[in-house]
Structure 1
């Protein structure tokens, strides 16, 4: 194991005493939000260094600055092997020693491993410009064979397993690496992997480390940190909290570094009245990683559902609303819509609206206006006698909800993509509220919005609950859960493992429950 002040490597050499990567004074602000503040980080030669922190801690911003996607604020400094490089520079041989595998992998499923690797480094060509396919396939095979997964480099990656696709992404990142002293950044690499393939990926990461490279392993799963890392840096609220040797920590002490002291928030929801009627009941819900989930939502309740990535908590809202893409089992009941239980696979008939997690991909239609996006599910109500759309009624409804939720736009006719992310989110929420449902389900409701919009959304959700609407908030952001929820269900390995209510909902309690370190 590596000591905090002593890098791994052959003792006594100047080369191994010097960190491969050193960053100091790293800050970044987005508007009123201070995403990073004076963060220092150093990666030793030949170590697996974990970067861990809760959602919204600044991990993604730090990685994007290292990758050159964002520019750091003035005053930050960075070195690769002792040589300075510009944070924000995306070209140059020194920066080329810093490679990335992002959570989304960046692969084209319709293309083969050979094609995907060529997209990033180019094709081998003859003097006449023809592609030398045998040579390309030999190169790709040599890169992926070291990981021992038997990948057919000519088949489309859509036919490969998740771990095979991860290996291709890693191979693409490592190809053309001059020498072994560099850093491979892996951003949440197990997020798309089934549990059985995680151990295989760990073996691959260790093999990369043993070959002489260093690895920056970004995660918020503590079990992975203890299984894999030599050192860990904890980041919270945009600041580096600590860098420790993993063998000096316990799961609980690491969770305490992540959670910090118990803090109060200005927004704490009022408790639900005892005996409030149920507006949603779920029993035996199974979908994807979920196994037999049961819960009840009361009138006026704000119920949080949370867990780590892959725990299954993110599946619950989609399954409850009839929007999950895979097989679903179990039963759902919304007493105000139907006194009978409905099979979960038919839950969409109950008309429970969903604010999805992916606003751009699932929440808005980019070619439509603000008004069209808002009234889309209400067209049946807005038709005139001849079946045509009653334009005046549609305009009136859109303008009413734009005003009620405080959307800032040039008008209802403005294209939705001209709005900020926060205002787009308000439109999606307004579309759901305009259906006048007894239940509202939100996934990651404040993702990608600024602080002012976050507070506005909190107030809006609180008003709806005060008027009797039942609200489900599925979120990995503890600030959302603290501010909005009267009760939180914590999901781990597809099952509800903890229920936390009222003043017991604290950040340490949530982190310990999600990580299993209660």
Structure 2
């Protein structure tokens, strides 16, 4: 039995004519992976011309549901699906009936070395002459027309690696919507704002509304409640593989939505406790130049949570990599850990200081997909885990992995499970545990809650605050103002490669952060 079966919460409209018929209807959707029940009797209905949000904790089944709709996974027998009244097989990708179900995944699926024109052609083909030659002028006109529909000015011949995040997102949406003008259907957007700075999120919202106003429906997957309330008409909450409720957003509050997600009463706002003043620095950086950075310098105190932020391209995202010795480009400057040795280290050799980094790209930089949870967790600690003759002390390794799985609350079938079987939030916990197990004086985090649901987000906030309370200095590099508000006791704002503003304590507010990033103080 479903947790919420009232007609009002499962239908976009009370009418019965064709215009009110759900454009997408799924019922009885179940999926099992071995001993894990990923989805159990899930129902979903999307009304014509609505933005329907899908939200739930990490591991709730959202990704599995989307992958079944996209044809990546097959559903268990008994599931029923209709697209605009026409039945279709879940897990099948062939047939024109799927042509009105389009997807823009979080990774976008674009080739950065290719132009917007090439990327659009990869999904829908090239225009050719009678003898097979590509009609490039026509291809470029088509691409320009598609992206201009969304008010985007971009050179459609340049590699997408030179485009901004919102430009790449628009190209991915344009690619998905090719040949779909004026037709009913559903566009699935999976975490589309995950890598966008605040100034570009509003523009993407306008584009999503424009898609809805053109007659399409949007299934909008997000972990951010502020996006749900700003954009969606209705929201479906899934938890533990089951549909918990479908509600009109206007009838909800952030607290009531969080309680549906977590299954218990939750505090939806989180502000850090301010640490006692201290002059004891655990990290000092001087005259740092790297990529767009121009002569950056700062100190981090014991127990301090220091935020570093700015718009994409400002240089703030380079700071953590340069400080930890992980930046791949040219770098110069000085870094030191006063309580470790007191000696200054050339920034190009900062990797030798052993400052652990939780990288921004969890999948590409944070985990090794072929390794288990335990192997990912203990990877940088192998020297400590060696027995005689250089062999790995397996029992000690297992004990350490189990200890940190428990300490950070990783939800997993066991330390031997492949890391890719975990949700994004639990993978992030593993990466953080790997860093914390090194017992460093400083922890550096890049976009620590990207793609993480609110329940896991709050768990990570609490974990980070506990480390700071124990005296660890923490750097949080993030374009997410919610993270900065929740975690940081001081924030440095970077613009055009330089620190232009320092905001401390209760002066850290969203308007202050956004104005400083945009240069509109």
TM-score greater than 0.5 by the shorter chain: yes
* Partner Cα distance (1:37, 1:488) in 2: 44
Contact 1:71 1:87 in 2 (8 A): yes
Q: Relative to 1, partners in 2 of residues 1:410 and 1:281: Cα closer, same or farther, differing over 3 Å?
A: same
Deviation string, structure 1 residues 454-505 (Cα, Å, up to 9, x no partner): 9999999999999999999999999999999999999999999999999999
Cα displacement (A) at 1:350: 2.1
Higher deviation after alignment, 426-435 or 119-128: 426-435
Cα displacement (A) at 1:281: 9.3
| SS in structure 2 of the partner of residue 304 of structure 1 | strand
* Partner Cα distance (1:497, 1:259) in 2: 39
Q: Relative to 1, partners in 2 of residues 1:71 and 1:481: Cα closer, same or farther, differing over 3 Å?
A: farther
Contact 1:337 1:350 in 2 (8 A): no
* Partner Cα distance (1:121, 1:315) in 2: 36
Q: Relative to 1, partners in 2 of residues 1:250 and 1:430: Cα closer, same or farther, differing over 3 Å?
A: closer
Cα displacement (A) at 1:89: 0.6
Does residue 393 of the first structure (1) align with residue 396 of the second (2)?
yes
Contact 1:8 1:16 in 2 (8 A): no
Cα displacement (A) at 1:101: 0.7
Cα displacement (A) at 1:298: 12
Number of the residue aligned with 1:124? 127
Higher deviation after alignment, 137-146 or 189-198: 137-146
Higher deviation after alignment, 10-19 or 295-304: 295-304
* Partner Cα distance (2:16, 2:126) in 1: 39
Aligned mate of 2:332, from 326, 329, 332: 329
Contact 1:51 1:217 in 2 (8 A): yes
Deviation string, structure 1 residues 19-75 (Cα, Å, up to 9, x no partner): 111111222233443322222111001111111223333222211111111222333
Contact 2:198 2:479 in 1 (8 A): no
State the superposition RMSD in angstroms: 8.3
Higher deviation after alignment, 403-412 or 209-218: 403-412
Contact 1:59 1:235 in 2 (8 A): yes
Higher deviation after alignment, 69-78 or 82-91: 69-78
Using structure 1 for the length normalisation, give the TM-score. 0.63
Cα displacement (A) at 1:401: 15
Q: Relative to 1, partners in 2 of residues 1:512 and 1:464: Cα closer, same or farther, differing over 3 Å?
A: same
Contact 1:191 1:309 in 2 (8 A): no
Aligned mate of 2:40, from 37, 42, 46: 37
* Partner Cα distance (2:410, 2:264) in 1: 36
Cα displacement (A) at 1:141: 2.3
Q: Relative to 1, partners in 2 of residues 1:363 and 1:229: Cα closer, same or farther, differing over 3 Å?
A: closer
Contact 1:7 1:44 in 2 (8 A): no
Number of the residue aligned with 2:29? 26
Aligned mate of 1:145, from 144, 148, 152: 148
* Partner Cα distance (2:252, 2:400) in 1: 57
Cα displacement (A) at 1:99: 0.1
Cα displacement (A) at 1:353: 3.5
Contact 2:259 2:266 in 1 (8 A): no
Cα displacement (A) at 1:321: 3.5
| SS in structure 1 of the partner of residue 9 of structure 2 | coil
Contact 1:252 1:512 in 2 (8 A): no
Number of the residue aligned with 1:7? 10
Cα displacement (A) at 1:150: 2.4
Q: Relative to 1, partners in 2 of residues 1:79 and 1:370: Cα closer, same or farther, differing over 3 Å?
A: closer
Contact 2:58 2:456 in 1 (8 A): no
Q: Relative to 1, partners in 2 of residues 1:260 and 1:517: Cα closer, same or farther, differing over 3 Å?
A: farther
| SS in structure 2 of the partner of residue 318 of structure 1 | helix
Cα displacement (A) at 1:337: 2.2
* Partner Cα distance (1:359, 1:220) in 2: 16
| SS in structure 1 of the partner of residue 389 of structure 2 | coil
Cα displacement (A) at 1:429: 9.7
* Partner Cα distance (1:205, 1:374) in 2: 39
Does residue 466 of the first structure (1) align with residue 465 of the second (2)?
no
* Partner Cα distance (2:372, 2:390) in 1: 22
- How many residue pairs get aligned? The number is 517
* Partner Cα distance (1:249, 1:418) in 2: 32
Contact 2:182 2:214 in 1 (8 A): no
| SS in structure 2 of the partner of residue 258 of structure 1 | helix
* Partner Cα distance (1:265, 1:224) in 2: 14
Does residue 58 of the first structure (1) align with residue 61 of the second (2)?
yes
Q: Which runs of 5+ in 1 are unaligned?
A: none
* Partner Cα distance (2:318, 2:22) in 1: 41
Does residue 421 of the first structure (1) align with residue 420 of the second (2)?
no
Q: Relative to 1, partners in 2 of residues 1:66 and 1:498: Cα closer, same or farther, differing over 3 Å?
A: farther
Contact 2:272 2:465 in 1 (8 A): yes
Higher deviation after alignment, 348-357 or 319-328: 319-328
Contact 1:333 1:339 in 2 (8 A): yes
Cα displacement (A) at 1:134: 2.1
Contact 2:238 2:244 in 1 (8 A): yes
Higher deviation after alignment, 111-120 or 254-263: 254-263
Does residue 90 of the first structure (1) align with residue 93 of the second (2)?
yes
Contact 1:255 1:511 in 2 (8 A): no
Contact 1:20 1:44 in 2 (8 A): yes
